[in-house]
Amino acid sequence: MRTDPGRLRWAREDEVPALEDLMLEASLLWPDHRDDLLAHPDAIEVPVDEVRTHRVRVHEQDGEVTGFATVLPVRDGEAELDGLFVRPARMRHGIGGRLVADAAQRARDEGAVRLAVVAQPRAAVFYGRCGFRTVGETSTRFGPAIRMLCDLTPLERAARP
């Protein structure tokens, strides 16, 4: 039987609670922030406004939401990947990579020349594989983080030999 590769679509307002459950489940993957997250559940939020304004893309497979990504509007040529989460049972099947490629395409379509992310140190290898480079260090309310950038080369230029 052929495996369903899944599809990407816009998030819907009625699934915000389910997305927040997925966000919590994925975030608890890294042991570093587990206690902080459980102590501060307000950090787990998918703003309805971002869903309503088409900032949130969902990956769905076999009728189940398996991951999602949020891209904020472009400012000074830069779009920010503000959240990326994959259901732990579906990790390492390319879903995160697909969501990043989709986010890059959306950002490009909106005129961005760079996609930025504030990455958890443990996610840096993943973002490196997706074409991001480290540009500095920063911090979040839960500790140190890495600022990374991906240059959004126009596809037609990238495809030229």
Ligand X SMILES: CC(C)(COP(=O)(O)OP(=O)(O)OC[C@H]1O[C@@H](n2cnc3c(N)ncnc32)[C@H](O)[C@@H]1OP(=O)(O)O)[C@@H](O)C(=O)NCCC(=O)NCCS
Binding site for ligand X (CB under 6 A): 26-27, 29, 84-86, 91-97, 119-120, 123, 125-126, 129
Q: By beta-carbon distance, which residue lies closest to ligand X?
A: 96
Q: Which is nearer to ligand X, 45 or 111 (CB)?
A: 45
Q: Which residue has the tokens 């950090």?
A: 43
Q: Which is nearer to ligand X, 93 or 108 (CB)?
A: 93
Helices (H), the chain: 16-27, 34-39, 48-52, 95-109, 124-129, 155-159
Q: How far apart are CA 132 and CA 60, in angstroms?
A: 25
Strand-by-strand arrangement of the 143-151 sheet: 7-10, 56-61, 64-75, 78-86, 114-119, 143-151, 133-140
Q: Which is nearer to ligand X, 117 or 152 (CB)?
A: 117
Output the smallest distance, CB 124 to ligand X, in A.
9
Contact status, residue 47 vs residue 86, Cβ threshold 8 Å: no
Please count the other Cβ atoms lying within 10 Å of the Cβ belonging to residue 33: 19
Q: Which is nearer to ligand X, 12 or 93 (CB)?
A: 93
Q: Which is nearer to ligand X, 88 or 156 (CB)?
A: 88
Output the smallest distance, CB 100 to ligand X, in A.
8
Output the smallest distance, CB 160 to ligand X, in A.
26
Residues 6+ apart with CB under 8 A from 28: 34, 37, 38
Output the smallest distance, CB 97 to ligand X, in A.
3
Output the smallest distance, CB 161 to ligand X, in A.
26
Query: Residue type at 78?
Result: E
